[in-house]
Amino acid sequence: MAGKTENLLAILRAQPVVPVLIVEDAKSAVPLARALVEGGLKAIEITMRTPAALDAVKAVAAEVEGANVGAGTILSAKDFDAAVAAGSTFIVSPGATRGILEAAKNSSVPLLPGAATASEVMALREEGLEVLKFFPAEQAGGAAHLKSLSSPLAGTLFCPTGGISLKNAKDYLSLPNVVCVGGSWVAPKEMVAAGDWAGITKLAREAAALKG
Ligand code: 3PG
């Protein structure tokens, strides 16, 4: 487990923002990932919310040099295994279930599971998981909530996601228990649909320059 945690931390620590993508058309995944990597965001989460998602992970894993593609919105052990088979280097879930935790134990690919309360964090710590997604960040109490967990639950690190943008990212990034944030704002639906890759690279650059 220690090795997997270190691998996950290495991926997340490399950038302040992990783009969260909903890919409608697998063909757009490669240019989109290239645009994000060019802007400095190498770790990319493709959510399993569309029929194109697995093909998108496969294409990015195979074709985009420098990208670290992860799969998000993993809701079952079956999803976990399919995402790993497609080439995901990390797995993100909005929460955690017994099935997902078992799949993660049997895999060399690290899991970033979601938690929003002290009890959820404690339950995941009992499973040996020390790096978690705080989700849904803004709606679950925002940076103030997460800050209040930093002393009693010292040692646990978070990637807050949900409702985060360029405006409030720093509120999270300045906390001692935050490694990075996740967000969809770096790849707006309209820009993806229009193939505005230069515009997305610009948004990625802005995000990559964020500091705590
Ligand atoms: C999601 O639920 O899609 C992710 O957590 C990203 O949230 P966001 O769209 O608010 O950045």
6 Cα to the center of ligand 1, angstroms: 25
Catalytically active residues are 45, 133
* CA nearest to 90, candidates 30, 9, 177: 9
Q: Which two tokens stand for residue 26?
A: 């697998």
Summarize pLDDT for 93-126 with one digit per residue, the tens.
999 999 999 999 999 999 999 999 999 999 999 9
Q: What is the SS3 string spanning the chain?
A: CHHHHHHHHHHHHCCCEEEEECCCCHHHHHHHHHHHHHCCCCEEEEECCCCCHHHHHHHHHHHCCCCEEEEECCCCHHHHHHHHHCCCCEEECCCCCHHHHHHHHCCCCCEECEECCHHHHHHHHHCCCCEEEECCCCCCCHHHHHHHHHCCCCCCEEEEECCCCCCCHHHHHCCCCECCEEECCCCCHHHHHCCCHHHHHHHHHHHHCCCC
Point out the ligand 1 atom lying closest to the alpha carbon of residue 22.
Answer: 3
**125-163 pLDDT, tens per residue?**
999 999 999 999 999 999 999 999 999 999 999 999 999
Token pair for 108? 């060399």
Q: What is the pLDDT of residue 212?
A: 76
Nearest CA to ligand 1 atom 11: 183
Give the Å distance between the CA of 61 and the centre of ligand 1. 22
Predicted TM-score (pTM) of the model is: 0.96
The answer to whether 9 and 17 are in contact (CB under 8 A) is: no
Q: What is the pLDDT of residue 1?
A: 47
Q: Where are the domains of the chain?
A: 2-205
22 — alpha (psi -120 to 50), left (phi > 0) or beta?
Answer: beta
Mean pLDDT value of segment 69-92: 98
The pLDDT tens digits of the residues spanning 42-74 come to 999 999 999 999 999 999 999 999 999 999 999
Compute, in angstroms, the gap from residue 72 CA to the centroid of ligand 1.
Answer: 10
Instruction: Tell me which residues have their CB closer than 6 angstroms to ligand 1.
Output: 20, 135, 161-164, 182-185
**CA–CA separation, 172 vs 142, rounded Å?**
8
Q: Which CATH number fits domain 2-205: 3.20.20.70, 2.60.120.10, 3.40.190.10, 3.40.50.1970?
A: 3.20.20.70
pLDDT for the residue 2: 54
